[in-house]
Amino acid sequence: MRYDVFISYARKDGSEYAERLDNGFVTAGLKAWRDRRDLDPDQDFTGELEEGIENSDSVICCITPDTHRNDSFVRREIGYALAVRKAIVPVIFEDTIPPIHIINVTREDFTHTLWPQAFANLLARLQRRPRADDQQYTVPSDPFRGYLNALYVQIIDLLKHTVFSEIALYSDETEGAVNKRIRTALPVGFWQGAAECRDETERSKSFRNFGEAFTVYGQRVLLLGDSGAGKTTTLLAFARDKVAERLHDPCAPLPIIAPVSTWNSNAQTPIYEWLATQVPMLNREVIASHLQDRTALLMLDGLDELGRERFESVDGHNVAYDPRARFVGIVPEDGPVILSCRAKDYAEIGVQAALTGAVTLKPLSDAQIAEYLREVPYLHQAIAKDQELRDLVRTPLLLSIVTHAYKDNASSLTALSDLKAASGELRDRIFEDYVKSRFTHEQRHGNASLPFSIEEVYHVLGEAVLDGTEFELAGHTEYAIDLETAIKTHVGERIAIFVEEVTRLHLLISGPEQRLTFIHALLHDHFGFRYASKFLTSAEFGTSKDYNLRYRTLEFLAKSNDPRALEPLIEQLEPYIRFPLVYSLRVGDPRVLLAYARSLEVHDGDDRYDVICDVAPEGIRVVAEKLGRHTSALTLASAAQSATADSRAVYLYALAFLRLTEGLGTIVSATQDSDATVRGVAVWALGELGRHETLDVVERLLTDGHVVENWISWEPSVKSYYNPWGYGRFHFPWSSFPSSETRVNDLARATLTKLRTLADGSASE
């Protein structure tokens, strides 16, 4: 909708004037945009104000004493009006001087002129259609004004397309998340007394907005939160305010915002070079200079989107590394910095960012949900009575999407609230209904054309997501392609039509440098998971000649850590699998533990299985740590008692491999197994666990002749693997497992000697 005027005013002392102007414009037949929200500037996560300015012919700026505050909405609105070249008309109240930018623009005086005459003068001026080019603005000299104006417009465009809700987000201090660099100039002795006086019951800080945390932590903050909690929105809204601040004050830090996902972790590109590729309007010398002088405000979004484990070739070996940890290492140790990351991913990294403080965005409370749904009571009623659904919508993204999907269809939400499903299925149902509601909304427009059906949109976007999934195989990295290129491979010359449709459907957005992306990572995961899970369980998966698509499907599902993917993935976790990429799965589930255990015997002679031999040992260790020693031992021991002979041997081997002495009883029992291989692995495992109290067990085996002249028919392939924390092969104590040519009684004698040596050593101590 177009407006004749946008009314800018300070809430504290300008509301009365703005309302009177608004009423006068209505009487005069003019359309006016006036913000009626009672909102803290730091909690404005939408681009409504700026959108109102864009859609108005002129901006009426009500000048009152409060307009001079740094965090005044008016200063921000003036900055954006200048950026998009709108005419500004200063209207003076209470003998106040206008801000410096518009101090030389002709004013309309409402202090020394009676209101009727002053308003008539204002109307006459508006009827002449003032133009920005004809006004004398006094903007401070800033070599980066063009960049700032462009950045401001792009941020607002992103906010308009990605922010559904206007919910105040609160955060709590997250202690122990950052590596604080404390600099002291006084000798340590001066601080001892102060430390003794500290209140030991001091509570963690809570913040009503991110600006408070940014100030408290010296402008160096780690922003954490769950997926959909509002991290990117918070960062974008904060960036917008900092751009507006810089437009008014050239001495303020220069805002630079970039998605961490674009950093090349393999090349370990220096941060100033990487930022120069992301912000073409700033060259590398400018960025490097600002970083060195600590005059740049870096806003680095989405550390988690770099992904988890990657591999690189070091001295001819395939070595694993964590790209997130590498990026943390290049974050500048001085100057204003904000780094955002999913809380769960940050906890996995194992290193801490050199920042001053960390905050975690809090889930929405029942009161916040109720306030947001105040005008749709049936929605609130349905959500309030379903605990699982209520817990799911505690993130702003999902609450707003639920509202958009069901605000016109109460019966659908009632059916949804009765759905007793896992949270993943419930979330997917919400997204599916959201997509359908967007289709219905667009189809209501008479001239709207939707050439692609919902099924086609899901298929194209699902495959495009998988095309954007990197995977590693036998030391070779198959890199992802960008979303737009991936879409084009599936729709060809119709890409412009497809992009126009999914953009209207509020699924994709064209971000900075026209890079196509999903409006949120959760939607990216939704389309990818829906397509990958169907493809994996289809007959086409086994017959498809597109091997890269197979690998990417397995890799995407493995990294999703979605419990629904476990069953089909585990079917691939067998010694004969053709797609070892699935071994990136790191879920604490007993079935995964057993699958990894079975992989310890893979010995095929095929180079492709080198990948399995490299990652299976570390994979089983990670999964066992997540399950805990007791559960891991119980899982493997139970399996060893009920499986076939070969599998029993594998599970016994895994018990020793993981040093799970809790499974000692099962191993001892297996020394009496009817199968020679199982007995051989059992006696070897006793030697590896090194419990000298089992000495008598092995002695009795040799005495009664039960193991004499039996041959081992099984040999594990995993005796060593590439060390992910260093170079070369990492050898375990059990790397000396005998070959299949060894007799069980010879192995028993060797184990007996080892246990006696251990027992003698313990006795001498």
The string of pLDDT tens digits covering residues 678-698 is: 888 888 889 888 887 888 888
> Are 396 and 352 in the same domain?
no
Taking the whole predicted model, whether its pTM rises above 0.85 is answered as no
> Are 237 and 347 in the same domain?
yes
- Within a domain: residue 387? yes
- Within a domain: residue 349? yes
Residue from 244, 233, 258, 160 nearest 513 by CA = 258
For residue 73, what pLDDT band results from cuts at 50, 70 and 90? confident
For residue 183, what pLDDT band results from cuts at 50, 70 and 90? low
CATH of the domain at 21: 3.40.50.10140
Domain termination site, one of 329, 361, 393: 361
> Are 126 and 162 in the same domain?
no
Is 80 exceeded by the pLDDT of residue 591?
Answer: yes
For residue 473, what pLDDT band results from cuts at 50, 70 and 90? low
- Within a domain: residue 411? yes
- Within a domain: residue 491? no
Quickly count helices (H) and strands (E) in the chain: 33, 20
What is the chain's alpha carbon radius of gyration, rounded to the nearest angstrom? 32
Eight-class DSSP state of 494: G
Is 50 exceeded by the pLDDT of residue 726?
Answer: no
In DSSP terms, which residues pair with 508 in a beta bridge?
Answer: 518
> Are 353 and 430 in the same domain?
no
- Within a domain: residue 299? yes
What total number of domains does the chain contain?
A: 4
For residue 422, what pLDDT band results from cuts at 50, 70 and 90? low
Q: What are phi and psi of 506, to 5 degrees?
A: 65, 40
- Within a domain: residue 32? yes
- Residues of the chain above pLDDT 70, percent: 81
The string of pLDDT tens digits covering residues 432-465 is: 888 888 888 777 764 567 899 999 999 999 999 9
> Are 618 and 747 in the same domain?
yes
Average pLDDT, the chain: 80
Structure tokens at 491: 């729709």
- Within a domain: residue 690? yes
Distance CA 726, CA 724 (A): 6
* Pair 59, 77: CB distance under 8 Å: yes
Give the pairing of strands 3-8 and 32-34.
parallel
DSSP assignment of 524-542, as one string? HHHHHHHHHHHHHTSHHHH
Distance CA 503, CA 251 (A): 38
Cα-Cα-Cα-Cα dihedral of 244, 245, 246, 251, to 10°?
170
* Full residue range of the structural domain in which residue 82 is found: 3-139
